[in-house]
A and B are shown apart, each in its own frame.
Chain A
C-alpha cells in the first residue's frame, strides 16, 4: 500500500520503532573501530579485549602461545601488527592455533622448525608483514621456503591495514 494511503498514526509507529531499535544499538558501539587493523594503524584505537588478552600472552620477540582455533584469526594478527609494529605468524592444527611473535623484520621460524611443525600436523595459516601498502604483502625468499615445508598449497600474508594476499606454492 502506498504511504500516502496509510494512516498517519501508522507511520509514526514505524518511525518510533526505528528509534527504539537505534537506541539499543548506539552508533558508538558499532563504529568505534576497536580491534580493526586499519583504525588501529591510523587512529591508534585500542585492540579489542580478545586481541588484548592475546597480546598479553605474547609480550616479547619469540613469545609463543597455543590458543583454541576460534579465539584468533589472521585479521587479529594484523591488528596486533598494527599496534606493535611486529610480525606475527600463525600455525593451525585441528582445533588449536600456535601464534609466534616476531620483531619488525622477521619471525624466528627456520626451515628445520617448520618441517617439525608440519610433521606434528600443523599447517601454516599465515603471517604478517608490518606496513600499510599492498607492496608489503609480496612474498619473500623465506615465505617461499617455509611454504615448501608444508604439504598445503598456499598461505596468507597480511599487512598492518588488514589487506592480504595469498602466496602459492610454485
Chain B
C-alpha cells in the first residue's frame, strides 16, 4: 500500500505533537511516497521558478522521512532540516 500523508495523517500529527513541531507546516510540505517510505520535503513558496524543469534535479530539503517497517510500524527519521522547517515560528 502506497504511503501518503492522508493515510498517515494521525501518526504524523502525533509525531509533531510529541516533538513540539507545527503540524500545519508539515501539511504544506511536498509529499513523495511509495510502498516503503514517505518523504516530506520543503519547497520555498517565495522562490521564483528557474524554468529549467527536469534540467534542475537539485534535491529539495528533506524535512522528515517516514519509513514503514516490515511489521507495519512507522519509523520517523529527523534530518538537519526538521527543526528549521517544522518548528513553531517565534
Binary interface encoding of chain A residues 46-75 relative to chain B, with 1 for a CB under 8 A from any of its CBs, else 0 = 000000000000000000000000000000
Q: What is the chain A residue whose CB lies nearest that of B29? A: A170
- With contacts A110-B52, A111-B52, A166-B2 taken as known, whether A139 is within 8 angstroms of B39 at the C-beta atoms is yes
When the two chains form their complex, are residues B54 and A109 in contact, meaning their CB atoms are under 8 A apart? yes
Q: Contact check: which of A105, A146, A165 meets B53 at CB < 8 Å?
A: A146
Contact-size category for A: 35 or more
One digit per residue, 1 when the CB lies within 8 angstroms of any chain A CB and 0 when it does not, for chain B 13-32 equals: 00000000000000011111
| Known interface pairs A166-B34, A167-B30, A168-B32; A140-B57 also in contact (CB < 8 Å) | yes
Q: In the complex, what residues of A have CB within 8 A of residue B2's CB?
A: 166
Whether B33 contacts A166 by the Cβ 8 Å rule is yes
B33–A140 CB distance below 8 A: no
Check A105–B32 contact: CB distance below 8 A: no
A135 CA to B39 CA, complexed, in Å: 9
1/0 contact trace for A112-152 toward B, CB 8 Å? 11100000000000010100001101111111111001000
Q: Is the CB of B56 within 8 A of A138?
A: no
Bin the interface of chain B by size: 20 to 34
B54, A165: Cβ atoms closer than 8 Å: no
- In whole Å, how far is B70's beta carbon from the nearest beta carbon of chain A? 14
Given A138-B62, A140-B59, A166-B33, check contact A108 B51 (CB 8 Å): no
Whether, in the assembled complex, B55 has its beta carbon less than 8 Å from a beta carbon of chain A, the answer is: yes
B window 44-60: CB within 8 A of A: 49-60
Instruction: A170 to B55: give the CA distance in the assembly, Å.
Output: 20
Tell me the bound Cα distance from A165 to B33 in angstroms.
Answer: 5
User: CB distance B43 to A144 under 8 Å?
Assistant: yes
List 6 additional contacts besides A129-B57, A141-B56; criterion CB under 8 Å.
A87-B57, A110-B51, A111-B51, A140-B60, A141-B43, A170-B28
Interchain residue pairs A-B with the least CB separation, the first 4: A165-B34, A142-B56, A110-B53, A107-B54
A interface, CB within 8 angstroms of B: 87, 89, 102, 105-114, 127, 129, 134-135, 137-146, 149, 157, 163-168, 170
A-B contact pairs, 18 of them (CB 8 A): A89-B54, A105-B57, A106-B55, A112-B51, A127-B54, A135-B62, A137-B34, A138-B32, A139-B32, A140-B56, A140-B59, A144-B30, A145-B53, A165-B39, A167-B31, A168-B5, A168-B33, A170-B43
